[in-house]
Structure 1
Amino acid sequence: MSSLIQKAVLCLAILFSIISETNAQFLSQIGLKDSVYSEVLNESRQFFVQFPEKFDPQSDKKYPVAFILDGEILFPALTVTQKFYMGGFLPDMILIGVSNQENRTRDLTPSVVEPSYGPNGGAAQFLRFLGEELIPYVEENYPASDYRTLIGHSYGGLFSIYTLIHQPELFENYLAIDPSLDWDDQLMLKQAKEAFTKEGLNGKSLYISLSGQLHMQKPEITIDNVMDDDSEFTMFARSNIAFAELCRVYSDQGLAFDWEIFPKDLHGTVPLPSLRNGMISLFDWFQMEKTELFNIPETPTSELLDILNYRAEKLRSHFGFEVPPFPEDLITISGYMNMDMGQMEKAKMFFDQGLKYFPKSANMYDSMADYFEANNDIVSALEFVKKAYEISGSDYHRDRMGELTLKIK
Structure 2
Amino acid sequence: MGNGSDSVDEAARDAGRRQRANVPHLFGSAAGRGAGGGFPVLYVLDANSVIGTVVEAVRLQGRSRDGQGSPAVVVGLGYDEEVPFATARLTDYSLPMTVEELPPFSRGGEWPRQGGADDFLRFVLEEVRPMVESMATVNRERQAILGHSLGGLFVLHALYTRPDAFSTYLAGSPSIDWYKRLIFAEEQAFVTQLQPGGKRKHVLIGVGEEEQTHPTRINEHARGVAERLGAFADCGLDVQFEQFARENHISVLPVFISRAVRLFLRSV
TM-score, scaled relative to structure 1? 0.52
Please give the per-residue CA displacement for 1:120-144, whole angstroms capped at 9, x wherever unaligned: 1110111111111111121123333
Classify 1:239/1:65 alpha carbon distance in 2 versus 1 (closer, same or farther; 3 Å). same
Which fold has the larger relative contact order, with Cα–Cα distance below 8 Å and residues 6 or more apart in sequence?
2
Classify 1:186/1:266 alpha carbon distance in 2 versus 1 (closer, same or farther; 3 Å). farther
8 Å CA contact 1:46–1:99 kept in 2: the answer is: yes
Aligned counterpart for 2:229 among listed residues 247, 256, 260: 247
2:97 and 2:216 mapped to 1: Cα distance? 22
The Cα shift of 1:103 comes to: 1.1
Q: Does 1:269 align with 2:264?
A: no
Counterpart of 2:62, as a letter, is M
8 Å CA contact 1:258–1:281 kept in 2: the answer is: no
CA RMSD, aligned part only?
A: 2.5
SS at match of 1:99: strand
Aligned counterpart for 2:51 among listed residues 66, 75, 82: 75
8 Å CA contact 1:51–1:94 kept in 2: the answer is: yes
Please give the per-residue CA displacement for 1:222-248, whole angstroms capped at 9, x wherever unaligned: xxxxxxxxxxx2532221121111111
8 Å CA contact 1:41–1:129 kept in 2: the answer is: no
1:120 and 1:203 mapped to 2: Cα distance? 32
Aligned counterpart for 2:27 among listed residues 47, 52, 55: 52
The Cα shift of 1:69 comes to: 0.3
2:40 and 2:224 mapped to 1: Cα distance? 31
Please give the per-residue CA displacement for 1:98-136, whole angstroms capped at 9, x wherever unaligned: 004351010001222313522111101111111111111
The Cα shift of 1:45 comes to: 2.3
8 Å CA contact 1:113–1:184 kept in 2: the answer is: no
Quote the residue 1:137 is aligned against. 131
Segments of structure 1 that go 5 or more residues without pairing to the other structure are: 1-37, 217-232, 287-409
8 Å CA contact 1:178–1:210 kept in 2: the answer is: yes
Quote the residue 1:112 is aligned against. 97
The Cα shift of 1:42 comes to: 5.5
Q: Does 1:215 align with 2:205?
A: no
Classify 1:285/1:42 alpha carbon distance in 2 versus 1 (closer, same or farther; 3 Å). closer
Aligned counterpart for 1:126 among listed residues 112, 120, 132: 120
Counterpart of 1:91, as a letter, is S
2:163 and 2:97 mapped to 1: Cα distance? 22
Classify 1:135/1:102 alpha carbon distance in 2 versus 1 (closer, same or farther; 3 Å). farther
Aligned counterpart for 2:88 among listed residues 88, 91, 103: 103
Classify 1:41/1:105 alpha carbon distance in 2 versus 1 (closer, same or farther; 3 Å). closer
8 Å CA contact 2:43–2:77 kept in 1: the answer is: yes
SS at match of 1:97: strand
Quote the residue 2:145 is aligned against. 150
- Normalized per residue, the structure richer in strand is 2
Matches within 5 A, 1:327-346: none
Quote the residue 1:191 is aligned against. 186
2:264 and 2:235 mapped to 1: Cα distance? 17
The Cα shift of 1:160 comes to: 0.6
The Cα shift of 1:251 comes to: 2.1
1:81 and 1:269 mapped to 2: Cα distance? 16
Identity %: 22
Moved more, 149-158 or 84-93: 84-93
- Normalized per residue, the structure richer in helix is 1
Aligned counterpart for 1:204 among listed residues 201, 204, 207: 201
1:102 and 1:284 mapped to 2: Cα distance? 34
2:71 and 2:156 mapped to 1: Cα distance? 25
Counterpart of 1:46, as a letter, is R
2:99 and 2:92 mapped to 1: Cα distance? 16
Report the number of matched residues. 229
Counterpart of 1:47, as a letter, is A
Matches within 5 A, 1:389-404: none
8 Å CA contact 2:95–2:115 kept in 1: the answer is: yes
Classify 1:192/1:46 alpha carbon distance in 2 versus 1 (closer, same or farther; 3 Å). same
Quote the residue 1:222 is aligned against. none
